[in-house]
Structure 1
Amino acid sequence: MFSSKKSDPFFESLLTIAKNVQQGVNYAYECKIENVSDLKQISVNMKSYETAGDKLIHELIVMLNQSFMTPIEREDILDLAIKLDDVLDGIENTLAHFEMYSFIEVNEAMRQFLHFIMMSVDEAVKAMELLNRKDLLGMRKHAILIKNYERECDEIFRSSITQLFQTEKDPIRLIIFKDIYEQFEEIADYCQNVANTIETIIMRNA
Structure 2
Amino acid sequence: MLGQRKTDPFFTALLDIALHVQQSMHYANDCKVESIADLQEVSTRMKAYETSGDTLIHELITKLNASFITPIEREDILEIAITMDDILDGIEHYFANLEMFSFIEIDEYMQTFIENIMKSTDEIVAAMELLTKKKLVEMRTHAVQIKEYERICDEVLRTSIKQLFLNEKDPIRIIQLKDLYELLEDIADYCQDVANNIETIIMRNA
Q: Tell me, yes or no, whether TM beats 0.5.
A: yes
Q: Which amino acid aligns with 1:77?
A: I
* Counterpart contact for 2:2–2:205, Cα < 8 Å: no
| Deviation of the 1:40 alpha carbon | 1.0
Deviation at 1:136, TM superposition (A): 0.4
Corresponding position of 1:19? 19
* SS across alignment from 2:112: helix
For the residue of structure 2 that corresponds to 1:69, the secondary structure is coil
Counterpart of 2:142, as a letter, is: H
Superposed CA deviations along residues 27-74 of structure 1, whole A, max 9, x for unmatched, are 111110101111111111001111110000000000000001000000
Question: Which residue of 2 is the match for residue 203 of structure 1?
Answer: 203
- Tell me which amino acid in the other structure corresponds to 2:98: F
- Rounded to whole Å, the distance in 2 between the matches of 1:174 and 1:105 is 14
The Cα of 1:201 is off from its aligned counterpart by: 0.7
1:41-190 equivalences in 2 (<5 Å): 41-190=41-190
Q: What code does the residue aligned with 1:37 have?
A: A
Query: What is the alpha-carbon distance in structure 1 between the residues aligned to residue 65 and residue 129 of structure 2?
Result: 24
In structure 1, the gaps of 5 or more residues are none
Q: Which range is displaced more, 82-91 or 36-45? A: 36-45
Distance 1:52 1:71 in 2: 25
For residues 73 and 63 of structure 2, the distance between their equivalents in structure 1, rounded to whole angstroms, comes to: 14
Say whether the 8 Å CA contact 2:123–2:142 is kept in structure 1: yes
CA–CA distance in 2 between the matches of 1:176 and 1:4? 51
How many residues matched? 206
State the alpha-carbon separation in 1 of the partners of residues 39 and 130 from structure 2. Answer: 36
Q: Distance in 2 between matches of 1:2 and 1:201?
A: 11
Normalised by the length of structure 2, the TM-score is 0.99
Structure 1: distance between partners of 2:172 and 2:10: 47
Deviation at 1:146, TM superposition (A): 0.2
Please identify runs of 4+ aligned residues in structure 1 that moved more than 3 A.
Answer: none
| Structure 2 residue matching 1:34: 3-state secondary structure | coil
Deviations 1:94-125 (A, max 9, x none): 00000000001111111100010000000000
Return the alpha-carbon distance in structure 2 between the equivalents of residues 169 and 3 of structure 1: 61
TM-score (norm 1): 0.99
Structure 2 stretches lacking a partner, 5+ long: none
Indicate the percent of aligned positions where both proteins have the same amino acid: 62
Equivalent position SS for 1:5: coil
The offset of 1:3, in angstroms, is: 2.3
